Structures are given as C-alpha cells and as structure tokens.
Chain A
Amino acid sequence: MGRFALQRFMYMVITLWVIITLTFFLMHTMPGSPLQHEDKLPPELKEEILKEYGLDKPLPVQYVTFLGKLAQADLGSSFKYDGRSVTDLIMQGFPASLQLGIQATIIGVIFGIILGCVSALRRGTWVDNVANVFSILGYSVPNFVLATLLSYYVGVKLQWLPPAKWDGPEYSILPTLSLAVLVMATIARYIRTEMLEVLGQDYMKTAKAKGLSARTAIIKHALRNALIPAVTVLGPLIIGLITGSLVVEQIFAIPGMGWMFVDSIQVNDYTVIMGITIFYSALIIVGMFLVDVLYGIIDPRIRIGGVQE
C-alpha cells in the first residue's frame, strides 16, 4: 500500500508541475497583454507598471521567480483589482463555490442512488425506462441551458425563488439544482449497472435462500457491494462540478471562483487566470490522488495491479 500511494504521489507532483509550467508559458506567449485596453497610458508609465509586476525580465527569470513565490502560496496580485493579491481573491470566492459543490454532491448522490437502485430492481419495466430516460436527459441537457431555464422560469416568471444573487440559503437552491442534476444522472447510471451485476451474483441467491428479507438483502448485500466501485466516479464528478460552476455562477451572478475565472478570462487578467488555473488543477489532481488511494484501500486488486502493471 505504501509503495502504491508513493507512486501515485509522485505522479501527482509531476502532473502539477507540468500544468504549472504549461500555464505559465502559455500565459506569457499569449496574444494581448494586460495593458492592451489602456491605450491612453504614456509609454513610460506602461514600462513602469510592467517593471513593478516584474514583466520586463526575461521569461526564464520570471518563471523561476514565479515558482519560488508559488512555493510560498504567493500567486502575485491582480491586474484588474488594483493591489488585491490573487490568493486573497481565491479565498474570497472559494467558500461560495465550495458550498454549492457540497450541496450539489449531497443532493445528487442521494437521489442518484435511489434512482439507480429503483431502476435496477425494476429492470425492464416502465419504472426502469422512465428512470433511464430521466438520467440520460440529466447529462444530455447542458448545465448552462438548465441553469438558464431554471433562473428564467422559476426565478423570473413564477417568482418562487430568487433568480440570481447570493444573499442567503434560498439563493443557493436553484444553482444547487442546476449542478446536482448531472451528479444525480452520473451516479444513477453507475449504480444501476453495478446493481444489476451484483443482483446476478450467487451470494444474492444465498441471502434469499437463508431467509433474509428482500430489504435487508438489497441494502446490506447488494447496495454495499454496488457502492464500492462508485468511488471511481468521484474523480470525474469533481471535474464536472467545477466545469459546471463556471457557467452556473455566471448565470446566477454568484461571486464564487468560477465567476471570477470567467471574468478574468474576458479581461486578460493573467495573474488571476494563472492562479485559479493552478488552484483548480491542484484541487482536481489532489482529488484524483485521494480517490486512487481510497480505491486502493477498498479494493486490493487495484493496488497490486497498479504496482506490477
């Protein structure tokens, strides 16, 4: 186990380094500069500003300086919000995004499991068909379309819930729903497949033969075994939630990290783009690492296969 975790850890570090380097060099060879919209500035002042941010030095020097600062969690300061440090901005936007992500995960997982189980237990009936169509729809309708429609019809037309802003728990309901549908659909499909496989196993017949009630057999024997491989969908789910949060936060005007990221892309705010890219990558990569290790602990076949290849 130790060797497996160590190997994974090495990959994690290399991957992070690759993404940091890629981000840095792409950002610095990009057409357009952070001052391109400031035409009125006299050239001397532009130079002065570039100097202050260290943008006048050769690229490799900037790269080394950047890595050194990164090690101290210093991501530089934003071009757009004068003097605000990127770390500050991230920390300011993160709580809202995290809250949305957690709420969406909890709701999505619970309903996904229920939907997947019902679908598998009633295989081939209309219940199964309806559940299937529902889950395929869930990941076919893009989250920004869903979010837009929810905001417009439930928020603006029916006025049941606030269509935008971030002022209290009721403001998080619609964005959470927009994100949770994809989680639910993914989990439901996974659980259905796994349940079908488990339900065909001999130990399910044994459980039935020894007189267990259907409920105990399904919850204790079938569902528990079906849930183990579902750990692997956690990785893609983190990615899906982050992807979704970029647009959902935009649509509901939530001052989270996703909104900040899209905003910084539109105004060429290099340091913020770089900072959030690295933060997202680290989040995803560390998440994948934890999922891998967790899965190695749960299912020993993986870690043996992983080391020996």
Chain B
Amino acid sequence: MSSMNSSTQNLTPEMFQPIERDTLAQEGVSSKKITFWGDVWRRFLKNKGALIGALLLLVIGILAIVGPEIHSYSYRSVNYDLINKEAFGDHWFGTDGAGRDVWTRTWYGAGISLLIAFLATAFDLFIGVPYGCISGYYGGKVDNWMQRIIEVLYGIPNLIVIILLLLWMKPGIIAIALALGITGWITMARVVRGQMLKLKSQEYVLAARTLGASTRRMLTKHMLPNVLGPVIITIMFSIPTAIFFEAFLAFIGLGIRPPEASLGVLINDGYKVLQLFPYQLFFPALVLSLIMFSFNLVGDGLRDALDPKLRQ
C-alpha cells in the first residue's frame, strides 16, 4: 500500500490527456478476417496428401499438353522399321507394334482421356445442377415428380446404360462423354437438391425473400454460391470415375478407334502384347493410375477442407 502511494505521489493530473472515445473503432475486429474460402484454402494447404495430388495433376496436365510435342514423332505416324523398340532409347517409352512412339501416344492419350472426363463432367453440371436447383427450390409437387423420375433413373445401372448407348452410337470422344454424362448427372442433381432443401430453411434466405429478392437473384446470388462446395467435391470424384469408365470401355472393345488414342485404348493395345512387350502396357497404365490416384487425393483433401463436420 505504501509503495503504491509513493508512486502515485509523482503523478500529476497534467501528465494525463483524455483521448477521444471512438466507439466504432472499439467494435472493430482487430485480427485479420478469414473468409470461408480462405479457411478452406488454408486447410487444404495443410493436407500433405492433397497437395501431392494437386502437384501431380499439374505435372500430368502440363505433360498431356506439351508431352506429345517434345519429340518430332506424331501420335499417329507409323514407322515399320522401328516396331516394338524397347523403352529408354531414342523413344523414351519405346514404340508400339506399328512403330508409333509410345511416349507421344501416352501423353496424347492422357489428354484425350482428360478431355472426355471434363466433357462428361460438364454434362453433369449442365443437367444436374439446374435439375437439382429447380427440384429443391420449388419443392412440393414439382419436387415430388422430379424425384420420382430420379428414383427410377437412379435404379438403372450406369454401366449397362453406357454399354447400350455405345453399342448404339459409334464410339467417339463425344459419344463416350455423352454416355457418361447421361448417367452421371443424377448424382449431381441429388447432391444439389439436398443442399437446396437445407439452405431453403436458413434465415438469410428468408431475409432475402422478405427484402423482395427475385427468384433468379435468390438462386444465383444467395443459394448457388453455398452449394458450390458439395458440387466441387462431386466433380472431383466424378472426373476419375469418368476416366476409369473410358478406359474400361476401351478394354472391353467399346473405346475410340485407332489411330486415335486414349489411355484405355493404349492399355488395351498393350494388353494384347503383354507377354512380349510389357512396357507397352506399363506406361499408359501407370499414367492412368496416377491420374486417378491424384484426383482421389485432391477430392479427399477438398472434402475434408470443405466439410465443417470434419473440423477438429
């Protein structure tokens, strides 16, 4: 007590100056704001597996674009003097039974496989998202009927429809993507509808409606941005599925026709000469597996980053 007195004795009122009180500043948040997407990004970066996946995808993507250009060989030029050359020589991945460069064909094929997967996913988005939106947003009778249709379609096995469609159409890039898209959008529609139903009962949606927002504005400005997370996750898992199906179809003889190449076609070609020239199967199979592995890693990482339930 005495020590305090001694210290206060030295203080005089002149030494103090009142500061203007700023109530606004007091209310302010001093730490840096983290947006939802900022948080997702931060959590994604922390996930080592997902980062490795993203990096691999980047490398594969670049190679699929520039890979076929590195050598002067074209993916379709035939050279019968150089058939079935071993790998790691002049031709990095060797040559196939028609003397075509396997390195060039593998990356060209990877590009085609990715293209088919992206096209198929675009179909998913263009049909699935509007369907799910309308069904979930309007609800009632509309939803009821749209759901009945989905229930029936959902029960039809994908594989069978895809095979039937490809027997019916001539297998090509568009035909395969279309067949995959026709069966794939149902999952997307279900995901979007589920999210819509959940969002519809949120207060901010009610507030927007009370303030007189139009249906269009409600959907595009308030609801769709909030559905984006699950939609991205669905995309990340539907791309590898599409790539798998393309390869699978090629393997059972329903792929695109040579000299065009996709990873599935190359694997099928390699399988035929496996006993003699295993490298012809090995490289395309490795690239295919790597693509699927990376997409799955990134998809897992995004799901963990986007799902609030999994936060620790």
Contacts and interface: CB of A to CB of B under 8 A. Distances in A.
A201 interface: no
Contacts of B49: 132-133, 136
B265 to A, nearest CB: 13
Given A26-B167, A140-B240, A152 B278 contact: yes
Given A148-B274, A152-B278, 8 more contacts: A15-B155, A18-B152, A31-B170, A136-B300, A140-B296, A142-B247, A251-B271, A309-B144
Contact of B147 (A148, A281, A309): A309
B288 interface: yes
Contacts of A273: 167
14 contacts: A19-B157, A22-B164, A26-B165, A30-B167, A31-B170, A136-B297, A140-B240, A142-B244, A142-B288, A144-B247, A144-B248, A144-B251, A247-B251, A262-B252
A152 B167 contact: no
B289 A145 contact: yes
B304 to A, nearest CB: 10
Nearest to B290: A140
A136 B293 contact: yes
Interface string A281-309: 10011001000000000000000000001
Q: Which of A30, A133, A145, A239 has the most CB of B within 10 A?
A: A145
A148 B289 contact: no
A152 B152 contact: no
Nearest to B164: A26
Contacts of A139: 292, 296
Interface string A11-46: 110110011001100110111000000000000000
Contacts of B289: 140-142, 145
A136 B252 contact: no
B306 interface: no
Interface string B167-179: 1101000000000
Nearest to B167: A30
A22 B167 CA distance: 13
Those 10 A-B pairs whose CB atoms lie nearest each other, nearest first: A15-B155, A140-B293, A140-B292, A145-B285, A284-B157, A141-B289, A262-B252, A26-B164, A26-B168, A144-B251
Nearest to B267: A145
Interface string B207-248: 000000000000000000000000000000000100010011
A141 B144 CA distance: 39
Q: Which of B147, B160, B163 has the most CB of A within 10 A?
A: B160
B25 interface: no
B100 to A, nearest CB: 21
B160 A247 contact: no
B159 interface: yes
Contacts of A288: 155
- Main secondary structure, interface of B, reads helix
Nearest to A242: B159
Contact of B248 (A22, A136, A247, A285): A247
B275 interface: yes
A23 B156 contact: no
A156 B275 CA distance: 8
Contacts of A152: 274-275, 278
Contacts of B251: 144, 247, 250
Nearest to A239: B157
A86 B255 CA distance: 26
A273 B39 CA distance: 51
B292 A15 contact: no
Given A14-B152, A277-B164, A281-B160, A265 B285 contact: no
A280 interface: yes
Given A22-B161, A137-B293, A309-B147, A15 B278 contact: no
B151 interface: yes
B254 A280 contact: no
Interface in B105-144: 144
Q: Which of A19, A133, A156 has the most CB of B within 10 A?
A: A19
A97 to B, nearest CB: 15
A51 to B, nearest CB: 24
A179 to B, nearest CB: 14
A265 B296 CA distance: 31
B281 interface: yes
A199 interface: no
B271 A142 contact: no
A177 interface: no
A22 B157 CA distance: 12
A130 to B, nearest CB: 12
A246 interface: yes
Nearest to B163: A265
Nearest to A274: B164
A216 interface: no
B259 interface: no
B149 to A, nearest CB: 10
B296 A266 contact: no
Contact of B267 (A14, A31, A144): A144
Contact of A145 (B165, B253, B288): B288
